Amino acid sequence: MKKIYQLLLAAGALCLSTGLYAQSLYPAANDKGKFGYVDENGEKVISYSYKEAYPFEEGMAKVRKGDKYGFINPKGKAIGKIKYTVILPFTGSYCRVAVGGSYKDGVLKGEKWGFMNKRGEEILPPEYDEIGEFEDGVAFIRKGNKYGLINDDIDVLLEPKQAAVGTFDRFGYCWFAASGKVNKKTGKLEKGKYGLINKAGDVLVEPKYAFIGYFYKSRPKNSSNITEYDASTSAVYNRLSLEKPLSRLYNPENFLLSALSGCQTEGAADSVRAGFKNLLLSADSTYLIFSKSGYRYGVMNDHGDILIEEKKFNNVNCPSDGISLVSKIRRKKMLRGYYNLETGYLKEFEESELPFSYRDGLGKIQNLNDQTAYFVDKSGNRVTDTYGFALNFVDGRCIVQSRDTKKWGVIDTQGNALLPLEYDNIHLEYREGALGVCRSGKWGFVDLDGKPVTPMDYSQLTYYQHGWATAKNPDGKWGMIDKQNHTIIPFNWEDILLPSEAEPEWIWVKKADTWQCYSRSKQAMAFQGGFERAWNFEDGLAAIQENGLIGVVDTRGDLIVPCRLNNYFKVKDVLGYMKQTGRQKLTETDAFRLNLWGDETVNSFDITSKIPDNLWDY
């Protein structure tokens, strides 16, 4: 054992000394322009026989002989073969290398790529036409017009036999298409047969489907109201990924792109973008949508096991608690029901009844004629009374209205009242652990247990946002309160703009039909003057409106962008222009011109058209 240890020490010392020796060698050229290596004294150590020579790093140096590159060690011996057209810098323990090909107009064409380690070994033979950049530890490889995947250990996850591949999404899945063809004009993959692979290289879904994808969901920020999209709707968002090689299957941007495709004007597109910023998108990776036909959908799990055959129903929803909301046309009638994935039992409902997806183990059944609703269990048995109106269960609670008294309250999953059905009005959801309730025209907040958070002293209340809510007192004046019912902003105003961030210094209040800026620390107006409309401050700037046109002010009330923009959504572009050009303020003319540059109607006139004065950049 001692002898082995001594040998290891000796080997380590040799490697260390070799490395140190290599670092003291320097590339140098002779009078004939040939390169070799000299030591610290300028004495030749490695002969002048190279067209190019690079410094030693970790005991190896890149050199060029003729038109080929390779590596040598400090003794001048080749590490591997000097045969490469290109050697790129090492990334970690390996580098990209290329063989063959030729340069045309300064561009290398026809080369084959692979990877080499620091021992000169080709860990991926240079036989690929293209190797993509690594993203999340995975890169694509291409041979001819066929694609595959490798990981950053240079293991081949998917052989390059596919018509197209995607990239791995947040769930760790990547789509691939064994067949299909990319349209050269549109760049879209057509007639693909899709499958799914994980990062371990396991094929979860064989590539035999015309479509695979996720069920999408959305909810507004600061809200618990979830919208679930059925297979037909979710398919629209998934297809945008499946048509685009090297894209992620789950991509929330597809939701936005789909909505933008229906916009006829830039103004409409700006409104869609603003709405998208207020949405939180998600998907359920436990279940996948699939289709062989491309127009009817089934459901499989994330191992590729089919749970609902695609031809069984006209449409399906994402399963919840082992139950899927389904629909089927029978005798020209749309019938809806719940399908139990485990037992195969289908509970159908009358055409006048609309079932919703299961939440907290219960399904809501709403009458389409009078909006009354009741709840059923997983067997389809009714477990609650019929209510005049009911929202959806969230965390074991559901806001309901009595069918008889029209009073509001909250029930649990057993139909028991968590909050007595005795309120005249109610907020449509809990926010930040509180629910607004109203009795005899007086509003207050209760907590999750139904205990008062504030007295019922207010004639109106908004939802809590960042711990604050705006409230209206019996005198008709608005103020702002926190969860301890402390007054944040005194009750002196016609209206208050609810802040979009926690504990802001500047808050917009309305007085004499104008919006004015209130300083919370001063408990007074931040500056004089008011505006028709105002938006919350961001980074010390706020959009304001005068005479129907938009501008920007700072926290001192100085006009940074004069009110010449005809669209709020142009503010971001204008501020971006100012940052890029280093401008601190804009003149009236600057703002007018920037407004025109962003106006799609300016370029819509014919050469003989008479351009209105307000659209003429003179």
**Under 8 Å CB-to-CB from 267, ≥6 apart: which residues?**
567, 569
**Is there a domain that residue 575 lies in?**
yes
Choose among 582, 571, 581: nearest CA to 545: 571
Q: 312 by DSSP, 3-state: which?
A: coil
Amino acid found at 170: R
Confirm whether 608 is domain-assigned.
yes
pLDDT band at 2 (very low <50, low <70, confident <90, very high): very low
DSSP letters for 359-376: BTTBEEEEETTT--EEEE
Assigned domain for 616 exists:
yes
Does residue 602 register a pLDDT over 60? Answer: no
Question: What mean pLDDT is predicted for residues 492-514?
Answer: 96
Instruction: Write the pLDDT tens digit of every residue in 160-190.
Output: 999 999 999 999 999 999 999 999 999 999 9
Q: Does 198 score more than 60 pLDDT?
A: yes
Among candidate residues 493, 488, 526, the one with its CA nearest the CA of residue 511: 493
Distance CA 116, CA 78 (A): 14
What pLDDT does 601 receive? 58
- Residue 79 and residue 228: Cα distance in Å, rounded? 59
Confidence bin at 10 (pLDDT 50/70/90): very low
Residue 501 in domain: no
446 in a domain, yes or no?
A: no
Rounded CA separation 244/257 (Å)? 13
pLDDT of residue 18: 45
For residue 616, what pLDDT band results from cuts at 50, 70 and 90?
A: low
387 beta partners: 373
Phi, psi of 523 (to 5 degrees): 55, 40
Side chain identity, residue 47: S
Residue 444: CB partners within 8 Å, gap ≥ 6?
A: 436, 437, 452, 453, 454, 455, 456, 457, 458, 461
Residue 1, pLDDT > 90, answer no
Looking at residue 12, its pLDDT comes to 41
DSSP type of residue 346: E
User: Is it the case that residue 278 has pLDDT exceeding 60?
Assistant: yes
Cα 8 from Cα 11, distance rounded (Å): 5
Average pLDDT over residues 225-238: 95
- Residue % of the chain over a pLDDT of 90: 84
Tokens of 401: 């209205």
For the chain, what is the mean pLDDT? Answer: 92
How far is it, in rounded angstroms, from Cα 609 to Cα 618? Answer: 16
pLDDT digits (tens, 9 = 90+) for 101-155: 999 998 999 999 999 999 999 999 999 999 999 999 999 999 999 999 999 999 9
The Cα–Cα gap between 169 and 250 comes to: 6
Cα 152 → chain centroid? 25
Q: What is the mean pLDDT of residues 557-575?
A: 93
Instruction: State how far Cα 429 lies from the chain centre.
Output: 25
Cβ 461 vs Cβ 455: under 8 Å: no
97 bridge partner residues = 87, 114
Q: Is residue 509 part of a domain?
A: no
pLDDT over 90 at 24, yes or no: no
- Tell me how many degrees the CA angle 52-53-56 measures, rounded to the nearest 5: 165
292 pLDDT more than 50: yes
Q: Which of 68, 62, 64 is nearest to 95 (CA)?
A: 62
3-state secondary structure of 318: coil
Assign 381 a pLDDT band (cuts: 50, 70, 90).
Answer: very high
pLDDT (0 to 100) of residue 15: 42
Q: If you average pLDDT over residues 340-368, what whole number do you get?
A: 94
| Full residue range of the structural domain in which residue 574 is found | 531-618
Q: How many domains does the chain have?
A: 1
- The answer to whether residue 547 is domain-embedded is yes
Q: Flag whether pLDDT at 11 surpasses 50.
A: no
For the chain, percent of residues with pLDDT exceeding 70:
93
How does pLDDT run across 581-591, given as a tens digit for each residue? 999 999 999 99
DSSP string, 21-47: HHHT-EEEE-TTS-EEEE-TTS-EEEE
Segment 70-86, tens digit of pLDDT? 999 999 999 999 999 99
Please report, as a single letter, which amino acid is at residue 149: L
Residue 588, domain member (yes or no): yes
Percent helix, strand, coil in the chain, to 5, is 15, 45, 40
**Per-residue pLDDT at 172:** 96
